[in-house]
Structures are given as structure tokens and as C-alpha cells.
Structure 1
Amino acid sequence: MTASLGLACLWAIMATVIAMLPSRDHHWRAAYVLIALGIPLVGWVTYQNGPFIGMIVLAGGVSILRWPVIYLFRWFKSRGSNPAE
């Protein structure tokens, strides 16, 4: 296993532990940190292991951080449906 895959596994464990802890802001601050760490990590995994493994790691990250992705798609949808802007 490469170092990038090991760190990706550590990222997933860290995200799971954070999800189990209580939070006043529904884990949004932790989600921002996980996103900031996860984007370069997915790039590194893709660089070292190829695009197929990179897509698997990306899918795992999206499944863990599904609500920020859902809100992002809702935001894109609301921006595209209003032609007056």
C-alpha cells in the first residue's frame, strides 16, 4: 500500500470518529477541514495509483461528506435555474 492510500484510510477513520463526536454546528467546521485535507489527498492518490483508484477514493470521500455535496448541487441548481441573473 502506498503512503497516499494509507493517508486516505487514515482520513476515512478520522472522518468516522469526528462523525461520532457531538457537535453544536452539526459538524460543518469539521467538514470544511476534511474537505481541505481531502482534495489534495485525492489528487495525490490519483497521481500515485492511477485514475481508477483515485475515483474510488473520491467516491468514498463523497459518501462520507454527502451533505456538503448535496448542498453544493442544490446551490448550482438554484444558480442555473434563474436566467435573470
Structure 2
Amino acid sequence: MSASLIAACLWVLAATATALLPMRRQYAPGITLLVAAPLLLGWIGWQHGGLVFALALLAFLSMFRNPLIYLARRLAGQPAHRPEEP
């Protein structure tokens, strides 16, 4: 197994552990994962080609759809609401 796929597996495990945290504690590790993802996706695409890159990108967008929608709304100047704990 290549180093990029091992790094991707570790990223997925870190994302899973982050998802198990209470919402107020998810922000710092979540932002770190969000920033690291494009670098990891680029590395995967460079080593394994476009199809694997596309599949990894779809998985990333699925996992981070709400934070990405929030950031897009903030950048567009629209109101964006953070999810709160009950």
C-alpha cells in the first residue's frame, strides 16, 4: 500500500474520532482536517490518477458538506448559522 493511501486511512480515522467528539470540541480538529484534505487529495491524485482522485474528492465533499456550505454562505455575505448542541 502506498504512503498516500496510508495517510488517507489515518485521515479517515482522525475524521471519525473528531465526529465522536461533542460539537463544541469538533471545531479545531475539524478545521485541521479541512485544511489538510486538499493536500492529501492532491497527493492521492498525483500517485493514483484521476479516477481515484475523483472518488476521494466525492467522499471528502460528502463528509464536509455542512462546513463547506457554511463557509460558502459566509464568503457570499449571506447569513450562516452554526449548529448548536441541544
Identity of counterpart residues, as a percentage?
36
The structure whose Rg is larger is 1
Paired residues, number: 78
Ranges in structure 1 where 5+ consecutive residues have no aligned partner: 80-85
User: RCO greater where, 1 or 2, for CA within 8 Å and sep 6 or more?
Assistant: 1
TM-score when normalising by structure 2: 0.75
Cα contact 2:18–2:30 (8 A) shared by 1:
no
Cα contact 1:31–1:65 (8 A) shared by 2:
no
CA-based RMSD of the aligned residues comes to 1.9
Separation (CA, whole Å) in 2 of partners of 1:55 and 1:78:
29
- Give the alignment of 1:22-61 within 5 angstroms: 22-24=22-24, 27-61=26-60
Q: Which residue of 1 aligns with 2:20?
A: 20
Ranges in structure 2 where 5+ consecutive residues have no aligned partner: 79-86
